[in-house]
Structures are given as structure tokens and as C-alpha cells.
Amino acid sequence: DLSGISTFGPSTMIVVSNRLPVDATENEDGSISWGLAPGGLVTALEPFMRENASTWVGWAGISDLVLAPFERDGVKLVSVTLSENDVELFYEGFSNDTLWPLYHDVIEAPSYHRAWWEVYRSVNQKFADVVAAEAAEGATVWVHDYQLQLVPQMLRELRPDLTIGFFLHIPFPAYGLFSQLPWRRQIIEGLLGADLVGFQRAQDVDNFLRIVRRIMAYKVIGGHVTVPSRGEENRYVVARNFPISISYPDIQKLIKDPAVIARSREIRESIGNPKIMILGADRLDYTKGFLHRLKAYDELLSDGDLDPTEVVMVMVASPSRERVDSYIKLRDDVELAVGRINGQYGELGHYPVVYLHHNYPREEMMALFLAADVMLVTPLRDGMNLVAKEFVAARSDGDGVLVLSEFAGAFDELKAAVAVNPHDIDDLKKQILRAKDMAPAERRQRMLSMRRRVREHDVEKWSRDFLKALAHTNRVS
Ligand code: G6P
């Protein structure tokens, strides 16, 4: 339920991300329905916002929607209106067809268009202007992700009194890739408008600092960058990694719900009570390694290493960026591969792949996690991957095996997972079999060790660590 508000004054804590936590979709009759915004960013930030009465600035998900500020769970939501042109050139274009593939190691080729860049700049300015108008004197502003990399500098120009933090949820690429970007200097200058620039992994920080040195020729000592300022004192910017996480308590509450537990049994039954249920749950994105996973599974079935009557792979693929060409093509390729496998190895009433192109509520996701024997998180590149951490947090029974890509940020922490290089189809096959055949004692030992890590490093600690470092940065500089 969304209610209008008029009582909020200027805010001392503002979070800004491309998406608001709520996502609008337009129905055929022109009315609007609200759902939860897709992706890990919103999942991670929601608990923080609930605990810290603050303002969230972002886009509601459809073009030309003008909304007055409104309240949800005690958080003031301020919507930034994007025109159809903004959505095409800023969101689908520069954010998701230039930066996204470039930052994910050019798995798909990034497109560089000057017209997209211009709109990326103007939309970043739009966000900065809205935040500048909302922020109280001396407020803290926390800017999120690759869509808004120019906001820190734009905001600093408008409001030098603010403390500005930036966190990148996706990987930061190596110099050799980043330097392709025709606007590489502008992006680095944009980020260096922040007092603290946070990343997921230590390797992202290394990449960033190396680029700052090589492209800007700024002095870098440890994680500190000296930014020369004309006629003023130098500024210092800190770069550090803060691996994001999930809300452990929220998940414990969900998995104790008798309805969720009953649903997990129902799920197993609905797919014919197979001996082994393998699960994958990702946005339908080319970074997630769908086709590699399907190829490995197909080969395991054809080699006879997996018996199609005993195993079911449930593949949840949530719809994503559906107007971007590479996503349209990926969907076709995935659906072709799924159809082939089911056509080849399926029988009436039993199919080795259950493919679901849907968004599910959190409760249903938890039931799926509880039902699975093997969870495949095999992205080719991923900033963190919160699904891996959610799966671990959900398995209070100490069972279930996580197969985890070395190319996911979560790999740095979840060392007890079954590691896999998803580019290597033979390795994928080997690790899937290893997970399927793992003895109960080993499963339990690995799961308990991963659960401890996630419990002690949950999203509450992540936001606390970041804000503590941000407050500290501002004091010493
Ligand atoms: C990833 C990104 C987020 C993004 C989410 C969903 O998690 O890091 O910034 O919001 O995907 O993608 P979308 O394009 O639908 O916002």
C-alpha cells in the first residue's frame, strides 16, 4: 500500500539507486500495479531502509510516471521521472548495453554510442538535482550502482556540505577492458566525487585503483586516492571492498513459516518426487551462465551419468531487460536448449528441465531452496550473487549442496561451496556429479561452515561497516 505524505522534512540520510524498491507496471486498461523491484540490490537495501528511517530516491520502473513523494514501511520514496527516451538511451542503452557488458568482462560486446552517453549524463544530473533538493544540511547520501556513477561528482558540485558514499554492486573490470570506454575519464571523475567508493571484492578495488593511477595519474597509497583540487586543499577518497549480503533474520523467519515448509514438500511432489532436484534461480541474464549449465546437463544425460527418470532441474529465470537485444536473443537460445533437452529425454508427465520464466515472491523462493538437493549458482561473472547466500541462509536443516562459480563475488566468502569454473563444461559436469553424490556428513559440514559465515556477515553488518567507514573518511579528510 502506498500512501502520499506531506510531513517529511529534508532528510539526513538519503539512499539513491536507479530503482525504487517498488516497481510499477502498466496494465492494459492503463491502471498501474505495484510489485517488488527485481534484482539483488533492492533485496539487500530493503532491510537497511526499514531500520534507518530515511529517504530513497529512485525510478519506479515505467516511463513518464510522475509521482508525489510517498511512504512505504516508514521510508520516504521519492520518484525520479524518466522519459521514454531516457529509458531507451540511459537505462536500456548506456546502463545495460554499454556498462553492464563492459563491467562483466565483455561476455557480450558492449555498444558505444555518443547519444547514449549524453543521456546517461543528463539522467545522472536529474538524480543529482532531486537528491540535492531533498538533502538536509550536512546529510549523508549513499549512491548505488553503475547506472549512477556520475552522481557523486554532480552532487558534490551542487552540495559540498554533503558526505557522499558510493557502492558498486557489480564487478569493476580490469584496466585492459575498462580503457575501451570512450568516457573512461568522466566515469572515474564521477566516482571520485564520493568520499568513499565501495566495491564487492578486493579484486574490484585493485582494478579501480590501478585505473585511477593509469588514467588520472592521481597518487594512490593503500586505499587512499589524492584528488587534486584547483585552488583548494586536496581531497582524499577511500576505496575499499564491502561484500554485500542478505538479511539472515528475515530468512530465518520465512523458512520457519509452516506454509513455506509445506510448500517445499508440495514442490517436490509436483515435479514427480525425483531422487534428485537440482535448482537454479537467476534473472534471465547472459552473465548467469544459463547456456553453459544447460550444455553440461544435456551432456550428463546423454553420457548416461544422470538418469532422466531420476533427476529434475528446476530453472527459475526471472524476466529481465526484455527490450535489450542481447536479452531477447538469450531468451530464445535458452528456450531452444530447454526444449531440445525435454524433447530428447522427457516422457509424458516427466521432463528433466522445469523452466519457469516468472518472478516469484520471497516465500516461494524459500520453498524452492528448501526443496532442492543441489543448488547451481554458476555465473560467468557476477558482482556478488545473493541467491547463493540466500540458499545457504535458508538451509537450517544443514543439508543441500551449493555449486558455486569462482566468478561470483560470493566465492570469496563461501569457500565451503563446491567450486566450479563455469566456462569449463567438463568441470561443470564433474562438480554437478560430485554435488549429487556427496555423502550426508560432508554436505552438513560444508553447509554449517557457510551458514556461520553468512550469519556473521549479513546485510546489517554490511551497511553498518560501510556507513562507519564513510563517517570516518569524512572526519580525517
Ligand atoms: C543487478 C544490478 C541492479 C539492478 C538489478 C535488476 O542486481 O546490480 O542495479 O537493479 O540487477 O536489474 P534491472 O535492470 O531490472 O534494474
Q: Give the pLDDT confidence of 229-262 residue by residue, as tens digits.
A: 877 789 999 999 999 999 999 999 999 999 999 9
pLDDT at 1 (0 to 100): 43
Atom of ligand 1 nearest to the CA of 320: 15
For atom 8 of ligand 1, which residue has the closest CA? 169
Q: How far is the centre of ligand 1, averaged over its atoms, from the C-alpha of 476 (Å)?
A: 33
d(CA 17, CA 231): 32
Q: How far is the centre of ligand 1, averaged over its atoms, from the C-alpha of 274 (Å)?
A: 34
Q: Give yes or no for a contact between 194 and 166, defined as CB atoms under 8 angstroms apart.
A: yes
Atom of ligand 1 nearest to the CA of 42: 10
Pick 247 or 51 by higher pLDDT: 247
Atom of ligand 1 nearest to the CA of 383: 8
Which residues line the pocket of ligand 1, CB cutoff 6 A?
Answer: 18-19, 38-41, 96, 145, 169-170, 320-321
Q: What percent of the chain has pLDDT over 70?
A: 97
Exposed/middle/buried for residue 249 (C-beta within 10 Å: 0-12, 13-18, 19+): middle
List, for residues 138-168, the tens digit of each pLDDT value: 999 999 999 999 999 999 999 999 999 999 9
Q: Give yes or no for a contact between 219 and 226, defined as CB atoms under 8 angstroms apart.
A: yes
Would residue 457 show up in a list of annotated catalytic residues for this protein?
no
d(CA 333, CA 449): 37
Q: What percent of the chain has pLDDT over 90?
A: 91
Would residue 169 show up in a list of annotated catalytic residues for this protein?
yes
Question: Hey, what's the torsion of the CAs at 295, 301, 306, 307, to 10 degrees?
Answer: 150
Q: Which of 80, 95, 169 to mutate to test the pocket of ligand 1 (most atoms within 8 A of CB)?
A: 169
Q: Which of 36, 41, 80 to mutate to test the pocket of ligand 1 (most atoms within 8 A of CB)?
A: 41
Atom of ligand 1 nearest to the CA of 145: 9
Q: How far is the centre of ligand 1, averaged over its atoms, from the C-alpha of 445 (Å)?
A: 33
- Residue 169 above 80 pLDDT? yes
pLDDT at 219 (0 to 100): 96
pLDDT at 6 (0 to 100): 47
Q: How far is the centre of ligand 1, averaged over its atoms, from the C-alpha of 320 (Å)?
A: 9
Mean pLDDT over 335-364 rounds to 97
- The gap from C-alpha 80 to its chain's centroid, in whole angstroms, comes to 21
Beta strand segments in 244-397, E? 276-283, 311-318, 353-356, 374-377
Q: How far is the centre of ligand 1, averaged over its atoms, from the C-alpha of 170 (Å)?
A: 9
Mean pLDDT over 44-65 rounds to 89
Atom of ligand 1 nearest to the CA of 147: 9
Question: What pTM did the predictor assign?
Answer: 0.96
At residue 315, φ and ψ (nearest 5 deg) are -120, 100
Q: How far is the centre of ligand 1, averaged over its atoms, from the C-alpha of 10 (Å)?
A: 28
For atom 14 of ligand 1, which residue has the closest CA? 321
Question: Residue 184's closest CA among 206, 214, 164, 158?
Answer: 214
Tell me which of 86, 97, 145, 169 is the catalytic residue. Answer: 169
For atom 3 of ligand 1, which residue has the closest CA? 41
Cell digits of residue 404: 558455486
Mean pLDDT over 381-408 rounds to 98
Question: Residue 2's closest CA among 23, 16, 27, 28?
Answer: 23
- Residue with grid cell 528475515, as numbered in its chain: 250
Tell me which of 97, 250, 382, 458 is the catalytic residue. Answer: 382
Q: Give yes or no for a contact between 312 and 278, defined as CB atoms under 8 angstroms apart.
A: yes
- Residue 439 above 90 pLDDT? yes
pLDDT at 44 (0 to 100): 85
- Residue 105 above 50 pLDDT? yes
For atom 11 of ligand 1, which residue has the closest CA? 39
d(CA 53, CA 133): 18
Name the average pLDDT for the chain: 95
For atom 6 of ligand 1, which residue has the closest CA? 39
Residues 6+ apart with CB under 8 A from 80: 57, 58, 59, 126, 127, 130
Q: How far is the centre of ligand 1, averaged over its atoms, from the C-alpha of 38 (Å)?
A: 7
List, for residues 251-304, the tens digit of each pLDDT value: 999 999 999 999 999 999 999 999 999 999 999 999 999 999 999 999 999 999
pLDDT at 51 (0 to 100): 79
pLDDT at 225 (0 to 100): 98
pLDDT at 3 (0 to 100): 52
